[in-house]
Structure formats: structure tokens, C-alpha cells
Amino acid sequence: MGALIEPTIEAAVDQQIDWDRYRRLVRRENNELEVQPYQVELLKLQRHLEDNNLRMIVLFEGRDAAGKGGTIRRITRYMNEKRYRAVALGKPSVEEQSQWYMQRYVSQFPADGEIVLFDRSWYNRAMVEPVLGFCTEDQYESFMRNVVGFEEDLVRGGFIVLKLYFSVTKKEQLRRFESRRNDPLRSWKLSEVDLQAQELWDDFTARKYEMLQRTHTLLCPWTIIRSNDKQKARLNAMKMILNAVDYGGRDTELDFTADPKVVVPGELELKLMDADRRRRGKFTN
């Protein structure tokens, strides 16, 4: 892999380019160089899944602007397009609303040798839908009672299931929203639902806590990814995916250890949230 680029004022002046823009471009290039060895490992993992007819599902959950989509793009950048799918389902159709809730997700499940990455998943019913009033309380409770058994059946049936929750602070979420609003190339990413996220922050936090408490299990645990730093979040998400599968040819020179400041087990996140509530009187993240 190439060596990291060192930005210099001289280089910026010589090329008559804006210094701030130059630094951003250098930082972006260095970020890409940092994750490239792990992208190579992801290709090895993908080949292992194909050779052994394994099926892998990765759920990317978290608040709006938490970095889920950008992480998925980095993970799949060099993958064989025939053996993976990134799934981001929109609003259910009238027909889908009349079906079993899980049906439209199950229809997207991987075949043998495939990996499917869900940019939001059936856990919409655990957070987004109840907060925004898109489901009834009975529908929410039915989901919460049955989802654990559903996921455990998947694992027993041979699926590899990884659940990642991207956690961003309220302040950083607002900064990203404002960045989108002021960027004509990304303004399309700012939806009406996004605009409610700050106002409903505490409601989403309460639902997050209940989701972790009721659906974090031994067979299908939650892993929290602290994503205020997008680069660290992307790198550590890659490590979690790679560590979920015992594939051959792993590069022994690479560090696959997750950063404990970025990656937090679901049970520890619950303890941290409990401590935060006792100290402050409410959840703050």
C-alpha cells in the first residue's frame, strides 16, 4: 500500500490551490490508504463465504447521519458485485403493509455464498416507527416479543448475523445536518424525517435503550460503533465484520483488534446508559 501523504504549504502554494481544500483532500486520501488493507481482507472473507456456501447478514442501525451509508460504501467498494447486496428499503407499499412485517426483509436475504448489508433493517420497528408514529403500540410490542426468536432461528439455520449500531452525539448529528443543508451535492440526503431527529432525540434514545435491553442476546448481540469520527468508525466496523468469520489467508501483520473507544459491546452500552441516567436524571446519548 502507498505511504501516507504529508501535506505541505509549499505544495499548496506551488499548485495555486486552496490550502484548506488541499488538506481535506490529503486527509481523505490518507483515510483511504488506511482502510485499504482491510478492504483486501474483506475480499478474502467474501471468497470464503462463496467457497463454503455461507450466508452472512450485517445490520447497520443507528440515528440519522450516523455514518451507516458511508461505511457500507467503504466496505463494498472493491467487493465482487455478484456476491453482495447493499439493501436500503424505502417506505413499504400498500401490499407490503398487509404482509407479515418481516416478509420484505426476508425476501432480501442472501443465497449461499452471499453477504447482504442492510442500511436500516427490521429494527425500524424498534426505533423509527414507534417514535414517528408509523406503527401502533401493539405492532411494536409484537415485534419486540418475536424478533429474538426470529434472529436465533436464523443463526441456528446457518446464517452469520452481525448487528451494528452506529452511535453519534446530538451535537455532531446537528453539525452533519447543517453540512448537508449547505452542500448542493448532498442536500438530497436531508429529509423531512431527518429534520425531526434533533427534536425527538430523547424519544429515540429511550427506544434505543429498550431495543438493546430486549434484543441483545448471546446468539445475536449488538455491537455499538462510536461514529463521531467517521474514519475510525468505518475502520472498526470492517474489523468487526472480519472478526465475525474465521476465513483463511488472514494477514497476520494486520491489527484486527477493535478500538475499545470506538467499539462497545451492547451489554456495556446498557450499563453506561444506566449510569448516565442515574447521574444526570435522564439519558443523554
Q: Is residue 99 part of a domain?
A: yes
Q: Is residue 27 part of a domain?
A: no
Would you state the pLDDT for residue 3?
62
Q: Is residue 182 part of a domain?
A: yes
pLDDT of 157 higher than 80? yes
Convert the pLDDT of each residue in 215-240 to its tens digit. 999 999 999 999 999 999 999 999 99
Convert the pLDDT of each residue in 192-203 to its tens digit. 777 789 999 999
pLDDT of 22 higher than 60? no
Q: Is residue 6 part of a domain?
A: no
pLDDT of 10 higher than 60? no
Q: Is residue 7 part of a domain?
A: no
Q: Is residue 166 part of a domain?
A: yes
Across the range 237-244, mean pLDDT stands at 98
Would you state the pLDDT for residue 2?
60
Cell triple for 140 = 411494536
Structural domain including 103 reads: 38-280
Question: Would you place residue 270 in the very low, low, confident or very high pLDDT band (cuts 50, 70, 90)?
Answer: very high
Would you state the pLDDT for residue 27?
58
Q: Is residue 26 part of a domain?
A: no
Q: Give the chain's domain count.
A: 1
Q: Is residue 1 part of a domain?
A: no
The verdict on pTM exceeding 0.85 is yes
pLDDT of 13 higher than 90? no
- What is the C-alpha to C-alpha distance for residues 124 and 101, in angstroms, rounded to an integer? 11
The CATH number of the domain holding residue 65 is: 3.40.50.300
- What is the C-alpha to C-alpha distance for residues 83 and 47, in angstroms, rounded to an integer? 9
Residue 112: which region, alpha, beta or left (left: phi > 0; alpha: psi -120 to 50)? beta
